[in-house]
Amino acid sequence: MQIHEIQPNNKTKDRKRIGRGGKKGTYCGKGCKGQKSRAGRKMQPFMREIIKRYPKIRGYRQELRGEETASINLNVLEKNFEKGDKITPEVLVDKKLIRKIIGKVPLVKILGNGELTKSLTIEDCLVSKAAQVKIEKAGGTVK
């Protein structure tokens, strides 16, 4: 016996060839004419085209952005701070009056809702006109 005479123990099965007559009928489960009934058909799902196009959509690679400023009212400052305290965005985050946005300390705008009786020093914050009037009236400063 030589190497080219070796045969496997079990024979390989031929795949079932449909569409060639026989018991399955003329169309053999493939329906009538069209792309789906042809040999070698490779149709991709419709969603694939949308998924492939998605990275090219405008703004796809930009970070998700919500409001980049946090707002806080004077009545909140009145409750949570003592006379002569210095208010910065970092202090407000530490006291959990505002939250970080995407891991960064946001810009803070102080609005004029409520009354202020304590003199406070405000730094690195945006202040509305009404709030600035009330802060300076109470003896505080805005830098």
pLDDT at 22: 61
Q: How far is CA 42 from CA 4, 15, 53, 68, in A?
A: 38, 19, 20, 48
Cα-flanking dihedrals φ and ψ of residue 53, to 5°? -80, -20
Residue 5 forms part of a structural domain: no
- Give the three-state DSSP class for 86: strand
pTM of the model: 0.54
Domain count, the chain: 1
H or E segment and range at residue 80? helix 74-80
Q: Is residue 127 part of a domain?
A: yes
Q: Which domain holds residue 115?
A: 69-142
Residue 131 near residue 110, CB atoms below 8 Å: yes
Does residue 105 sit within a domain? yes
Residue 50 lies in a domain: no
pLDDT at 66: 57
Structure confidence at residue 51 (pLDDT): 84
Q: Which three-class secondary structure state does DSSP give residue 122?
A: strand
Question: Would you say residue 77 lies in a domain?
Answer: yes
Q: Is residue 28 part of a domain?
A: no
3 within some domain: no
What is the pLDDT at residue 32?
78
Say how far apart CA 84 and CA 103 lie, in whole Å: 29
Q: What is the pLDDT of residues 82-92, one digit of tens each?
A: 999 999 999 99
Output the domain CATH number for residue 122.
3.100.10.10
Which pairs count as long-range contacts for 88-95, CB under 8 Å and 24+ apart, including other chains? 88/123, 88/124, 88/125, 89/124, 89/125
Query: Mind listing the pLDDT tens digit of every residue in the chain (143 residues)?
Result: 899 998 888 878 877 766 666 666 667 777 778 888 888 877 878 888 888 888 887 777 766 555 678 999 999 999 999 999 999 999 999 999 999 987 889 999 999 999 999 999 999 999 999 999 999 999 999 98
In order of 7, 88, 90, 115, 122, the CA distances from 85 in angstroms are 93, 10, 13, 17, 9
Q: Is 27 domain-assigned?
A: no
